[in-house]
A and B are shown apart, each in its own frame.
Chain A
Amino acid sequence: MPDRSQSGTVNRRHFLAAVGGAAAGGAATLPSPGDAATALAAEAAEARDPRALHTVTLTVNGQDHRLSLDARASLLDTLRDRLGLTGTKKGCDHGQCGACTVLVDGRRELSCLRLAVMAQGHQVTTIEGLAPAPDTLHPMQQAFIDQDAFQCGYCTPGQILSAVACVKEGHAGDDDQIREYMSGNVCRCAAYPNIIAAIRQAKTEMEA
């Protein structure tokens, strides 16, 4: 069950609304019960501190981490700065480059656009957790090495996680389809032909 002790639910807000309303004693002067509820809710919301930390349990690479988080923290920054998982890269921080791609419940997402408080209850997989066991590589990682599918390597963790999802979705049927479904991962070194070769190699192994 999600922990709501800090982050609260709308229910908790309404409880606070009732308390706040009693303290203010202003409900009787309001024109209708609906307006009163809205006004009280707004008042209660004001009484809460938007900077208060939220207690969140994140499940990353199969491990639970209990964290106190600012609601503004992205999943990306939380992975890197709080959990030390710096394999996930920050490129544009606006969902345009794909460097921060991770798997959430097995599907590829941009960790820069997901608030960490909204990742609770989901299974997050980063490049550090992709291989089946320590000192082994996922077939996609091995294929990127075999096919020389990177130069500077900055986009590579995002490329690899995106590629794993691309194969699992069934969108790696041919080179054109791979190009289309990998278009969310930008490579400024332009290793694209080798990335396609790597995905084709790994696809064969993943589907064997």
Chain B
Amino acid sequence: MQPFLFDRADSVTEALRAAPDATVVAGGTNLVDYMRLGVVSPKHLVDINGLSQETAALGRITLDHQGLRLGALVRMAEAEDHPGIRARYPVLADSLALAASRQIRTMASLGGNLLQRTRCEYFREASWPCNKRRPGSGCAALDGLNRQHAVLGTSDACIATYPGDMAQALLVLDAQVELTGPRGVRLVPVAKVHRQPGTTPYLETTLAPDELITALVVPASPWSWRSRYVKVRDRRSYAFALASAAVALDLESGRVKQARIALGGVATVPWRAEAAEAALVGKPLDEGAARVAADAAFAGARTRAHNAFKVPLGQEVLVQALLQAGALQPPPPTSRNGVTHA
């Protein structure tokens, strides 16, 4: 690991002043690993964990009739355990509970998790060419061992998979990210945060260098309880997704009024499957309709030598997620009408 300057920020203002030339650290589960591997070598690290002393909202979960607000320094495990989130936003609670290990979820902040970087082995091992890690050096995954790589949103420069789980849940809940910067506070849809690689895979997000994620904001929705996250891995627990699907359904008399679908483990970014959503609208939610939607979700897939299995796998995962969400029963009224579960 390369030497770095280390500071602790006591206020959001201080952290922002340091932001353009410093790397902020909260849980450190992703960053410290990549620093140790030599994948990233920040010259200056600013610990932002102290910010929740000054601005308590950064470490707080608020659930009321307007929706859910998750401070950026809330830990994954805290949100996973929250009874109100489990009842009203099950897709979110499930996506957290199925991620990483409990130790990592205890440490990892929600803000950091959203920006988790790829697990592509050619990105992780600094001696390989990688357009994301060393722009212009090439992509070793294109003709390498690409079993874990993306089939959606890829380019000739990069096929690295977005590895996270929570972002897909946030997508189907129409969540926004609260960004605080020198120009003030702005809300950005989660769907606009990550960039597909294109010719610039090293540009991973639309965040400005001097902006800090301060919260995740999930609107209240009468049908967010009918949501589900299904994740398939090489082993039963503690692994990244080979394919995952987050779904939220608005059903009326068994027919789909609205659907939200996001795919994980198969795409370069948290992947909203709008064609699949459109294919469901007006249909009764049965296996036939789910399979038509799953076909639509992967219509644009581009496979490589070792990852073609992700298309049928991802389709099956989506079908299961849709059918499981459709079978959910509403939570008791106290959990739906805006009571805060502390």
Q: Which residues of A contact B (CB under 8 A)?
A: 2, 4, 7-14, 34, 37-38, 41-42, 45, 48, 50-51, 54, 70-72, 74, 93-95, 98, 101, 107-110, 113-115, 117-118, 162, 165-166, 169, 171, 179-185
Contacts and interface: CB of A to CB of B under 8 A. Distances in A.
Interface stretch (B55-63, B100-108, B186-194, B219-227): B100-108
Given A7-B6, A34-B182, A183-B238, A45 B21 contact: yes
A10 B29 contact: no
Contact of A108 (B4, B49, B106): B106
A41 B17 contact: yes
B3 A41 contact: no
Interface of B: 1, 3-10, 14-15, 17-18, 20-22, 25, 28-29, 32-33, 35-37, 43-47, 49, 77, 81, 100-104, 106-107, 182, 236-238
Contacts of B20: 38
A72 B8 contact: no
Contact of A10 (B35, B36, B46, B103): B46
Contacts of A114: 28, 32, 107
A5 B163 CA distance: 39
Nearest to B1: A72
Contacts of A117: 6, 47
Contacts, number: 125
B271 to A, nearest CB: 26
A13 B103 contact: no
A184 B28 contact: no
B28 A8 contact: no
A104 to B, nearest CB: 8
Contacts of A38: 20-21
5 contacts: A71-B4, A72-B35, A98-B103, A114-B32, A115-B28
Contacts of A70: 3
The 6 A-B pairs at the shortest CB distance, nearest first, are namely A184-B101, A183-B237, A50-B3, A71-B6, A183-B238, A10-B14
Nearest to A72: B1
A152 B77 CA distance: 31
B17 A14 contact: yes
